[in-house]
Amino acid sequence: MSEFTIAKVAVEKTVYHFDKAFDYCIPKELSANAKPGCRVMVPFGGANSKRQGIILALAVQKETDCLKPILAVLDKAPLLSNEGLRLVPWLKEHYFCTLFDAVKLLLPTGMNLKIRTEYSLAVKPDSLPMEDFSEPERQIIHYLAHAKAPVDRDKLLLALGLAADSEIPQKLCGENVLLKSSEAVRRVGDAAQKMVRLTDISDVPKLTKKQKNVYDLLCEAGSASLKELCYFAGVTPAVVNTLESKGIVQYFDVEIYRNPYDHISGAGDSRDIVLSSEQQEAFDHLYQQYRSGKGGVSLLYGVTGSGKTSVFMRLIDEVKTDGRGIIVMVPEISLTPQTIALFHQRYGRSVAVFHSGLSLGERLDEWKRVKNGEAQIAVGTRSAVFAPFQNLGIIIMDEEQEYTYKSESSPRYHARDVAKFRCAYHKALLVLSSATPSIESYYLAQNGRYSLNTLSTRFGSAELPEVTVIDMNTELEKGNDTILSTELFAALTENLKNGKQSILLLNRRGFHTFVSCKNCGQVVMCPHCSISLTYHSANKRLMCHYCGYSVPFTKECPQCHENQVCYTGWGTQRAEQQLQELLPDARILRLDTDSTMTRFAYEKKLRLFAEGEYDMIVGTQMVAKGLDFENVTLVGVLSADQILYSDDFRSYERAFDLLTQVVGRSGRGKFAGRAMIQTFTPENSVIGLAARQDYQAFYKGEIAIRKAMLYPPYSDICVIGFVGSVQDKVHKASKTFLNNLTVLAKSEYPEQPMRVLNPTPALIGKVNNKYRYKLIIKCRNTAKFREMISRLLIQFSGNRDYKSVTVFADINPDSIL
């Protein structure tokens, strides 16, 4: 009997409870191109709708009569290497996602394809008995009769106001009224930014209030990007679209280059990196571990300003000489400008950049440069961990403790775990670098699971800054109700006089952070989320930082309608205003997500600060890490209390990290530095430890608490999340899942150690009209435990009583839901 080669295909748009690698037969004419790692088009489901998939493996079997055939091979060469093909099922098992969702992590967004479905009439409309069709069916026939070419399904349904999942077109195809065609098209974003400007219309019709906001703003500004226009006018794009349809505004594109770093030429700085004796010792140990060929993980722990970057760049020089790939990760886009500039200066065009600030086309091009061997170093945020190197030598995670390395949406992977997988596969070295390592990483280093290299002093003549903790209770007693204590105000004034620069941290954006009514006590809440609104002075609106809902500034209470609404609390916008009032001669730069919305705004503003165009920065946590300016000699924390207290077991760890890091921005060069921490709870031990930069003492206290409470690293935590639009249904779903867990664990997994807490509402119980509950399991993250959770997720998905409730599992989340 003959043997046939079949393909095991991961298919897009499957759901977790029946996802697997599906078997397809390979037609003879496609057999030469159907290779593992290539994308294919396949028929799927009872209707045999065309879907995209990717071949994960080939197998041999004797019968193929019952298998559907692959319809087309979409790639000339495999997109995934053998490593990538092994990583896909690993991601599915560890993060409870579908196989194709895992595949999409490994490919740039611009590379992804979508199946475009188009319809046209199969017969002449005058030959059809129109009275036999329903009104929606007649509308479709009429629309297509006047179309000059086949019409895209999405466009057709949108034009006629039909639901996105409407089955009417498919019904008409079955009756041979319509013809359906499908093809795979690449999703590459426009290499342009959409802008808006007024037309030359002389007779402007009557406008709604929102439309007039847009019109007035454009009269003043001339033109603006669509994103900026919507933010400052407090509208959605639909309002601008309506003005465009009326001929009042017009869209135009501003060119965005596919490679924003195209001006970079070859490497220019080939000078040897000079290391101190302590740095040299750390480098020697790391290089020896790399040269061993066994790979592994090493923690490079050093106080702020100790020169960790110099150590791992010296290491990169050696790995680059060997011709092996290098990945350098930073936790967020705000840290990339200086890192990218540093690497471009030394390594030129051999550096590829990976982060979400690039356009889809730019991301695609950088991915290709790595895959084709044109770039040897990948620098970027979390997604850089998937850079497609064929021979990886080293991965460096700077600020390894940062929460942004963990994805908050499915697949909920942690870049550190993926880096461990890749380094094990390539026998490469993983270097975790930080001045405030995560408790888990330092624990593993202390226990010999990771090697440990320590830099205990600052590089060169730089000294750790002198730190003062200021009791703001005393300031209030003296009648000072401004954002600056007397001591910090004096220090800022002195710094301005001496031509030095300052950094001020306030980890809350907006103007006022709390809005309530004096008359009835009502807090002004978002109607869609269980969170209060924040006032933004830039657009004079109250905004929700979770769903984006906004309303104009008002003094009228929505509950009692009295003009008694009171605005309190400090955000970065209010801090900027009062700083300007207190220090009128100061040139102040505000850095938060509101002020850096435009492309490359962060890089531009930091460059101006470095050039001395500003005297001080006030901003959120994006100013606390990764910045290295020699002229910064003063750091102020305007409110340490905002970051100390939250409903999470990692709150003290995050507070210590942020305070330590921002204090470390001061005095990094030849000038002595100072730091001042303002707080209403000066007795809190975390503040004192951060002021002394004493990580060892903090770790000793924190690890004792973790052990007593059975928190990581003494256990793993699995959070099961439940989301739905009906609160009672979501609550019942969480209880049902707990019952299922109890039964299955007792009957089939009695050997698995775990502690399960009863379901409770999430910290933010409602987001965007969806209620959220959580179930917390303290466990060991073993293959058997993940198998049990996977079975429970599949079982729950089959319960029709809870079809309106979404359930997900998150292993070791950075923060509890």
Residues comprising the binding site for Zn(2+)?
517, 520, 526, 529, 544, 547, 557, 560
CA distance 15 to 13: 7
Rounded (10°) angle between helices 783-797 and 82-95 = 70
Q: What is the DSSP string of 709-764?
A: HT-TTSSEEEEEEEEES-HHHHHHHHHHHHHHHHHHHHHH-TTS-EEEPPPEEEEE
In order of 256, 362, 596, the CA distances from 357 in angstroms are 12, 10, 11
Q: Is beta strand 223-225 parallel, antiparallel or unpaired with respect to 466-471?
A: unpaired
Q: What is the DSSP letter of 3?
A: -
Task: Residue 573: name the closest of 556, 560, 586, 592 by CA.
Answer: 592
Cα 747 to chain centroid distance, Å, stands at: 39
Neighbouring residues of 315: CB distance < 8 A, sequence distance ≥ 6: 283, 286, 287, 290, 394, 396, 431
Backbone dihedral angles phi then psi of residue 758, each to the nearest 5 degrees: -60, 150
Residue positions forming the annotated binding site: 517, 520, 526, 529, 544, 547, 557, 560
Buried b (16+ CB within 10 A) or exposed e, 602-631: bbebbeebbeeebbbbbbbbbbbbbbebeb
* Token representation of residue 330: 């930073």
Q: Is beta strand 466-471 parallel, antiparallel or unpaired with respect to 674-679?
A: parallel
How far from each other are the two terminal CA atoms of the chain, in whole angstroms? 56
* Token representation of residue 783: 């293959």
Sign of CA dihedral 232, 233, 234, 235: negative
Phi-psi region of 485 (alpha: psi -120 to 50; beta: other; left: phi over 0): beta
CA distance 398 to 626: 9
Cα 237 to chain centroid distance, Å, stands at: 23
Neighbouring residues of 52: CB distance < 8 A, sequence distance ≥ 6: 11, 12, 39, 40, 41, 42, 74, 100, 113, 114, 115, 184
